[in-house]
């Protein structure tokens, strides 16, 4: 096991984050007794209660938040903002295609929300995928991570966790005059050869608020560490547009229209191409190129209120329309010579209606209930061409069924009962039905066009307890069920990023059962939190190598388990200095099938199992000096516990002994520094030096290495 050295860092954290808010509270009580010197964490979140605000500290589950300018200072994309969080492993298939593993699960086993609108859909791929990169982080004011199985509130696919990107809350004028303000943000990075710019504005009257923004980014080829150097054909372009118009209706109600559009052009995926790297025994592919375009549009109209009393004391009703288009341009090759390829893609139109309500019960309890309807229309195509890009024909379908609908109808209820001053019980139940209607798909036996209909039903429940022996200590625990019905991708896909698979019309729904216990607390200069969990897996859809050679896989339902521990502790040494340490460990196995001719079932590690990891941050902010700084150490262990599929994935996981099978990903330790200056009343300059040691490293299962020594400059101007 790699030794993990934690270097006590110099430097500080930031008045632009909740850490600084905690330090302000600490300063206010600096002369008090230790028992009364409490580090407050006044973070409010909306994901835990399905859209209704709550204090994160008292939430009965593991939930974390990154707020405000901290997002743009510490990361490049939304997925990368989650790096270093306990039980989160952010894999990068390509530089523009990153996906978080949350408690051992990724892709369609996690739910992605933007302003409460569900972006998951039935064409989303199984493993780490590119879709999480289509969220504009610079249009996000707060990022929330709700870890663990959340089947009652968020339904199918909410197994590993839920991540929500929340835009800025609207502000209204109190003077009767129109308020207008704006922001210009720029970011430059040396290792990424990138430049990002964003222009946004806000206009408000007593009852109206308008927020608009435009983000443009150009990412060049990323430079790895001192041995790898520049990784060719890894750059791409990104553009994001956002608008939110809010009308206040009285003091406690409002109507909101929101719209976001993101476009990503020519995002290359190189690990299977001639532009791959041979670092530590990685195999270099034969394809000439593989490029993806992504376009995502979504709009929503929401009415929300609180404090009205009755059966819907608080509520929100949202009508949404989500359109996602993806294309892939691929040229195969041999010995660097083009051999023909294909242009394929899909489109999804998701019309959704979500209603959530809360009301007081007759025993002093609080009811939450609601329903959710999504109707997805899906189409796909595939066109073949020769080595000269001359059209040669079309296929029956693209990556998923050529013509299909996927309909979800669900209802849930949950009750929180306050037993006494210390104990609360939260019990919930959800019923969900999914109907699949496919008009055109390739028959896996005959190869001819065919049609199919399937339906899936599930009822899941949860029971959680919350214990608060004092206002500064919270303990929680519970049992939660989750499920995931087979998606159109599972049932009808023909190929994946690195393998070839066939449609399978007989797959069953996946079922999950998670037990969790955790807590958080604060005392004097200390604050801490942690959780331990075990997830039992039934009928999970796994993909196994079909033969001893080749890249064909078979899909089947299998059982397994995932368990882990996540901890975080922080201490404020003085009014200016503080340190925070977080760490997580995980293990898990599923049933898998050996390749032909054996075809025997064995129990092996889950795919892309997260290594042991830890992160140490020491922060410094002198009183009233207008600057801050921080230093961090991120340490990750070796990962050589591999699934059968991982062993074959030598383009992403090193084969150090040259036997044709992956051996595992080496561990690494990354050191970085960040600082910021309030150079003017309305201007903040930030400087970061990441990967100070210029270390060559790769996040386990990624298709590219991480950036080497990287100087990042940011300038945030408000007007």
Domains, the chain: 44-568+591-615+645-718 (2.40.170.20)
pLDDT at 69: 67
Pick out the chain residues at pLDDT < 70: 1-42, 69, 495-499, 624
d(CA 204, CA 207): 8
Report pLDDT digits (tens) over 270-313.
999 999 999 999 999 999 999 999 999 999 999 999 999 999 99
Q: Rounded to whole angstroms, how far apart are CA atoms 51 and 59? A: 13
- The answer to whether the beta carbons of residues 203 and 179 sit under 8 Å apart is yes
CA distance 478 to 462: 7
Whether 207 and 176 have beta carbons less than 8 Å apart is answered as no
Task: Name the CA radius of gyration of the chain, rounded.
Answer: 25
Q: What's the rounded Cα separation, in Å, for the pair 242 and 215? A: 9
Nearest to 12 by CA among 581, 674, 610: 674
Residues 7 and 713: their CA atoms lie apart, in Å, by: 24
User: Where do the DSSP E strands lie in 6-60?
Assistant: 44-45, 54-55
CA neighbor of 22 nearest in space, from 681, 577, 466: 577
Alpha carbon dihedral 157, 159, 160, 164, in 10-degree steps, equals 60
Report DSSP letters for 383-397, one per residue: EEE-TT--EEEE-S-
Q: Which helix (H) or strand (E) holds 491?
A: helix 488-492
Reduced to 3 states (helix: H, G, I; strand: E, B; else coil), residue 153 is: helix
- Rounded CA gap, 494 and 393, in Å? 17
Would you call 22 helix, strand, or coil by DSSP? helix
Phi-psi region of 250 (alpha: psi -120 to 50; beta: other; left: phi over 0): left
Neighbouring CB atoms inside 10 A of 719's CB total: 10
Q: What angle do CA 75, 77, 78 make, to 5 degrees?
A: 100
β-strand pairing of 337-360 with 117-118: unpaired
**What is the Cα–Cα distance from 372 to 356, expressed in whole angstroms?**
9
Cis peptide before 597 (omega within 30 of 0): yes
Burial tier of 445 (Cβ tally within 10 Å: 0-12, 13-18, 19+): exposed
* C-alpha distances out from residue 508 to 492, 556, 717, Å: 14, 9, 53
- Within 13 Å and on the Cβ side, how many CA atoms surround 639? 31
Entry field: residues in the chain? 719
Contacts with 102 (C-beta within 8 Å, 6 or more apart), sequence order: 87, 88, 110, 145, 147, 160, 161, 163
Look at phi and psi of residue 524 and say left if phi exceeds 0, alpha if psi is from -120 to 50, else beta: left
Q: CA 442, CA 450: separation in Å to the nearest integer?
A: 6
Query: How distant is the alpha carbon of residue 85 from its chain centre?
Result: 11
- Distance separating the N- and C-terminal Cα atoms of the chain: 51
Tell how far CA 158 is from the center of its chain. 12
For residue 122, the 8-state DSSP code is T
Give the SS3 label for residue 719: coil
The closest of 5, 14, 64 to 527, measured between CA atoms, is 64
Q: Are 502 and 127 in contact (CB under 8 A)?
A: no
- Note every long-range contact of 225-228, with CB atoms under 8 Å and residues 24 or more positions apart, other chains counting: 225/691, 225/694, 225/695, 225/696, 225/697, 225/705, 225/706, 225/708, 225/709, 226/694, 226/695, 226/696, 226/708, 226/709, 227/279, 227/696, 228/277, 228/279, 228/696, 228/705, 228/708
Helical ranges in 638-718 per DSSP H: 644-648
Reported as half-sphere exposure (CB side, CA atoms, 13 A), residue 448 has a value of 2
DSSP-assigned letters across all residues of 171-222: ---SSSS-EEEEEEEEEEETTTTEEEEEEEEEEE-SSEEEEEEEEEEEE-PP
> In the chain, what are the helix, strand and coil shares in percent, each to the nearest 5?
5, 55, 40
Contact 137, 98 (CB under 8 A): no
Residue 635: DSSP 8-state:
E
Distances (CA, A) of 342 to 167, 248, 270: 38, 51, 16
CB-CB contact of 712 with 685 (8 Å): no
C-alpha to C-alpha distance for 161 and 85, rounded to whole angstroms: 13
Within a 10 A sphere around the Cβ of 127, how many other Cβ atoms?
A: 21
Query: Residue 487: which of 130, 119, 109 has the closest Cα?
Result: 109
Would the CA dihedral through 597, 599, 604, 606 be positive or negative?
A: positive
Q: What is the pLDDT of residue 251?
A: 86
């Amino acid at each position: 096991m790699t030794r993990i050295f934690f270097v006590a860092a110099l430097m500080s954290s930031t008045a632009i984050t909740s850490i600084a808010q905690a330090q302000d509270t600490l300063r206010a009580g600096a002369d008090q007794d230790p028992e009364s010197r409490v580090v407050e964490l006044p973070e409010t979140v909306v994901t835990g209660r399905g859209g209704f605000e709550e204090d994160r500290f008292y939430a009965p589950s593991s939930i974390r938040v990154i707020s405000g300018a901290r997002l743009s200072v510490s990361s490049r994309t939304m997925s990368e903002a989650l790096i270093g969080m306990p039980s989160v492993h952010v894999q990068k298939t390509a530089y523009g295609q990153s996906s978080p593993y949350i408690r051992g699960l990724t892709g369609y086993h996690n739910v992605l929300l933007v302003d409460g609108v569900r972006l998951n859909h039935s064409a989303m791929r199984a493993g780490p995928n590119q879709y999480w990169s289509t969220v504009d982080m610079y249009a996000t004011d707060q990022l929330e991570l709700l870890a663990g199985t959340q089947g009652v509130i968020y339904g199918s696919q909410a197994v590993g966790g839920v991540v929500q990107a929340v835009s800025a809350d609207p502000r209204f004028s109190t003077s009767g005059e129109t308020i207008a303000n704006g922001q210009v943000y720029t970011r430059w990075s040396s290792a990424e050869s990138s430049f990002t710019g964003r222009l946004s504005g806000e206009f408000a009257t007593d009852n109206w608020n308008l927020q608009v923004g435009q983000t443009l980014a150009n990412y060049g080829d990323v430079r790895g560490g001192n041995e790898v150097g520049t990784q060719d054909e890894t750059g791409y372009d990104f553009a994001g547009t956002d608008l939110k118009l809010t009308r206040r209706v009285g003091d406690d109600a409002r109507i909101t229209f929101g719209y976001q559009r993101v476009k990503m052009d020519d995002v290359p995926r190189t690990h299977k191409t001639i532009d791959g790297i041979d670092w530590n025994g990685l195999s270099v592919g034969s394809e000439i190129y593989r490029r993806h375009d992504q376009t995502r549009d979504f709009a929503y109209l929401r009415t929300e209120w609180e404090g009205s009393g009755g059966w819907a004391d608080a509520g929100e009703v949202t009508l949404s329309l989500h359109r996602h288009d993806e294309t892939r341009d691929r040229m195969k090759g041999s010995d660097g010579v083009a051999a023909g390829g294909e242009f394929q893609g899909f489109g999804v139109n998701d019309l959704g209606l979500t209603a959530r309500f809360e009301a007081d019960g007759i025993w002093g309890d609080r009811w939450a209930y609601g329903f959710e309807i999504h109707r997805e229309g899906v189409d796909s195509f595939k066109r073949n061409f020769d080595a000269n890009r001359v059209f040669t024909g079309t296929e029956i379908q693209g990556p998923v069924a050529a013509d299909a609908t996927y309909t979800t109808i669900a209802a849930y209820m949950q009750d929180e009962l306050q037993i006494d001053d210390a104990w609360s019980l939260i019990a919930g139940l959800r019923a969900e039905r999914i109907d699949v209607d496919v008009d055109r798909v390739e028959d896996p036996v005959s190869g001819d066009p065919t049609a199919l209909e399937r339906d899936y039903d599930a009822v899941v429940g949860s029971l959680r307890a919350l214990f608060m022996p004092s206002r500064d200590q919270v303990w929680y625990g519970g049992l939660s069920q989750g499920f995931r019905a087979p998606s159109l991708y599972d049932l009808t896909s023909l190929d994946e990023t690195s393998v070839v698979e066939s449609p399978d019309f007989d797959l069953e729904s996946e079922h999950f059962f998670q037990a969790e216990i955790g807590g958080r607390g604060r005392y004097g200069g200390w604050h801490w939190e942690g959780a331990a969990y075990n997830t039992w897996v039934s009928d999970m859809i796994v993909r196994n190598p079909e033969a001893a050679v080749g890249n064909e896989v078979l899909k089947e339902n299998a059982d397994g388990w995932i368990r882990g521990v996540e901890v975080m502790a922080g201490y404020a040494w003085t009014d200016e200095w503080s340190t925070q340490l977080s760490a997580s460990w995980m293990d898990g196995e599923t049933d898998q099938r050996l390749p032909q001719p054996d075809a025997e079932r064995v129990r092996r590690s889950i795919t892309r199992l997260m290594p042991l990891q830890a992160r140490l941050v020491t922060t410094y902010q002198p009183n009233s000096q207008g600057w801050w700084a921080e230093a961090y150490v991120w340490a990750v262990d070796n990962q050589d516990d591999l699934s059968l599929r991982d062993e074959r994935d030598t383009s992403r996981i090193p084969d150090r002994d040259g036997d044709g099978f992956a051996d595992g990903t080496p561990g690494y330790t990354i050191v970085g520094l960040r600082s910021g200056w309030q150079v003017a009343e309305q201007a903040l300059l930030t400087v970061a030096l990441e990967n100070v040691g210029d270390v060559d490293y790769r996040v386990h299962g990624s298709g590219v290495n991480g950036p080497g020594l990287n100087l990042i400059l940011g300038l945030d101007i408000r007007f």
